[in-house]
Structure 1
Amino acid sequence: MLEIAKQAAKVAGEYLQGRFLEQLVPDEELHNDVKLPEDKESERRIIEVIHGHFPTHTIFSEEVGMVSREEEYLWIVDPLDGTNNYFIGFPYFSVSIALQHKGELVLGVVYNPVAGQMFWAEKGKGAYLNGKRLSVNDRTDLTRAVGTYIRGRNTVTKEQELDFTKPFMINTKRLLRNVAPALDWCLLANGWLDYVVMQRSGIMDVAAGIVIAQEAGATITDWKGSAYQHEPFTQEGFRSLLASNGHLHETIRGLIEE
């Protein structure tokens, strides 16, 4: 199943990369989002690969919603993680595919075609980038820490975002707003980022990244400090999480003002 997920991500990623330098025409532009035909075509290619090998598996994807089959296996697909980046020619986007088995996340694949980065992980078997084992870093100095902020679509106002992120911008070296959440979690897994703070975001956008970060040794909790527990996927589910290299976790959690 991991190899099929990687295959599906690569097929979709190669298509997206081929379209990346074109002048894209959106189906719809919204206040905080954009809808592209490339989203739908990437999704179609992913579903075609997965159902070609596993026709009885259920798939949830951003554009078509739930394609219900057997409930034991559920593929959670974001066919274009970072659609707004892709639309404006910013090369920070990915294809994100996770698999839930009997309510547990068991594998994740995140493919960044522009950089040729294939991240993947299976539960209990470690996380990898192009075959190299991943591990979070060991940074302990908060003033040198670089993190990223993820928020859900239409769940947080811009005013709330400004208020919430201010302590992180002041007390850490840098807080990024990359708007490609699955890829952000992979940067944490490889030690490039020190923390990820997520505010009321859907699990679909980050499921694959969470598996990869967990397998790379990241500490993941809710904002109160309770260890992250995956809840069986629902379309309406939103979570607020903090992930880090572990050494900085409690210090960074102290910056959260709900």
Structure 2
Amino acid sequence: MQMRKETKLAISTAKKAGLMLKKHFGRYYVVKHKNKHDILLDVDVQADRLIRKELSKSGLPMITEESQHKSKAGSFWVVDPLDGSINFGNRIKDFAVSIALVEEGLITTGVIFIPEADELYHAEQERGAFMNNLKMHVSKKTRLSEAILSMTLSSVKHRREKELEIMRCIGERVINIRSNGSSAVSCSMLARGAFDCYLTVEPHFWDYAAGSLLIREAGGLVTDFEGREYCEDSRSLVIGNSSLHKQLRGMIKGLQVF
């Protein structure tokens, strides 16, 4: 099946940005501290500029973590130029470039590149999800007690408090909890079945746009806590196969996180 030109552009752009980040791994400076749990690096800015230049060839607008401008109508790109800045700044290799295309409210292309692992993930709407061109599928586990729950702790204080409360309540019901510091890396691992399920609150669209399509195309469910399909305005996020997703939603109904 012929790959869309937009997907080809997203892939080539993610690779260029990722290779630039890899080249600068271990060599960077902090531009500013966004808050006590998050930083902006010079390579964040460089990757953002590179991606803007490449994606401008499509003629479509962009929203990124660094710009945070919203484009609700028509078609637009959603980009996180460096997801996992804290990891990058501490020489931890779990960081990624994330690019998604939204058309009339639907995420139609998702690309994530993890430079240090040389893993390229891509998905197109109703065409499946792939890692390095090999088709992926989410975990087939059906028991929450055997599942690895992934959560990415927010850098924002009130969000982090809610996520820690979820961890306290659900932690004993799963085999383990993983927090690797990058939403894009976590979504990639969920799409290929390395992690089994995922929860978070108040997700940023640029963190999950590409990853949510990867997971859906790999057979997973991506909704808010109420079961509504994930979108830009979602205030919560629960991910898993149909069985684990149902169990997680049942457990979080009684939690007062909003």
Q: Do they superpose with TM above 0.5?
A: yes
**Alignment pair present for 1:241 and 2:245:** no
Task: Give CA-to-partner distance per residue, 1:19-52, whole Å, 9 cap, x none.
Answer: 1122x3201123121010100101111111111x
* Alignment partner of 2:204 out of 188, 202, 205: 202
Greater strand proportion:
1
Greater helix proportion:
2
Match of 1:254 in 2: 250
Match of 2:83 in 1: 81
TM-fit CA distance, 1:222: 1.8
TM-fit CA distance, 1:152: 4.5
Work out the CA distance in 2 between the residues paired with 1:169 and 1:91. 26
Match of 1:228 in 2: 229
> In 2 relative to 1, CA 18–145 (structure 1 residues): closer, same or farther, beyond 3 Å?
same
> In 2 relative to 1, CA 157–244 (structure 1 residues): closer, same or farther, beyond 3 Å?
closer
Match of 1:64 in 2: 67
Asked if structure 2 preserves the Cα contact closer than 8 Å seen for 1:168 and 1:175, the reply is: no
Work out the CA distance in 2 between the residues paired with 1:127 and 1:141. 24
TM-fit CA distance, 1:141: 2.4
Task: Give CA-to-partner distance per residue, 1:143-183, whole Å, 9 cap, x none.
Answer: 22002113544263544332221122211011112221122
Asked if structure 2 preserves the Cα contact closer than 8 Å seen for 1:155 and 1:200, the reply is: no
* Superposition map of 1:70-109 within 5 A: 71-109=73-111
* Alignment partner of 1:17 out of 17, 22, 43: 22
Work out the CA distance in 2 between the residues paired with 1:59 and 1:35. 19
Match of 2:3 in 1: none
Task: Give CA-to-partner distance per residue, 1:45-72, whole Å, 9 cap, x none.
Answer: 1111111x21x2111112234497x952
Asked if structure 1 preserves the Cα contact closer than 8 Å seen for 2:159 and 2:201, the reply is: no
TM-fit CA distance, 1:2: 0.3
Asked if structure 2 preserves the Cα contact closer than 8 Å seen for 1:109 and 1:121, the reply is: yes
**What is the DSSP-based 3-state SS (H/G/I as helix, E as strand, rest coil) of the residue aligned with 2:99?**
strand
> In 2 relative to 1, CA 62–249 (structure 1 residues): closer, same or farther, beyond 3 Å?
closer
Work out the CA distance in 2 between the residues paired with 1:151 and 1:255. 19
**What is the DSSP-based 3-state SS (H/G/I as helix, E as strand, rest coil) of the residue aligned with 1:191?**
coil
Asked if structure 2 preserves the Cα contact closer than 8 Å seen for 1:9 and 1:46, the reply is: yes
Q: After the TM superposition, which of the residue ranges 115-124 and 242-251 deviates more from structure 2?
A: 242-251
Match of 1:110 in 2: 112
Count of residue pairs brought into register by the alignment: 248
Work out the CA distance in 2 between the residues paired with 1:16 and 1:109. 16
Task: Give CA-to-partner distance per residue, 1:190-218, whole Å, 9 cap, x none.
Answer: 01111011211111111000010010000
Asked if structure 1 preserves the Cα contact closer than 8 Å seen for 2:224 and 2:230, the reply is: no
Asked if structure 2 preserves the Cα contact closer than 8 Å seen for 1:81 and 1:182, the reply is: yes
Asked if structure 2 preserves the Cα contact closer than 8 Å seen for 1:58 and 1:71, the reply is: no
Task: Give CA-to-partner distance per residue, 1:111-134, whole Å, 9 cap, x none.
Answer: 000000000000010000000001
Q: After the TM superposition, which of the residue ranges 104-113 and 158-167 deviates more from structure 2?
A: 158-167
TM-fit CA distance, 1:242: 0.5
RMSD, matched Cα = 1.9
TM-score, structure 1 as length reference: 0.90
Structure 2 runs not aligned, ≥5 long: 1-5
Q: After the TM superposition, which of the residue ranges 147-156 and 180-189 deviates more from structure 2?
A: 147-156
Q: After the TM superposition, which of the residue ranges 128-137 and 159-168 deviates more from structure 2?
A: 159-168
Structure 1 runs not aligned, ≥5 long: none
Poorly superposed stretches of 4+, deviation over 4 Å: none
**Alignment pair present for 1:182 and 2:187:** no
Aligned-residue sequence identity (percent) comes to 28
Asked if structure 2 preserves the Cα contact closer than 8 Å seen for 1:120 and 1:128, the reply is: yes
Asked if structure 1 preserves the Cα contact closer than 8 Å seen for 2:36 and 2:155, the reply is: no
> In 2 relative to 1, CA 18–216 (structure 1 residues): closer, same or farther, beyond 3 Å?
same
Asked if structure 2 preserves the Cα contact closer than 8 Å seen for 1:82 and 1:92, the reply is: yes
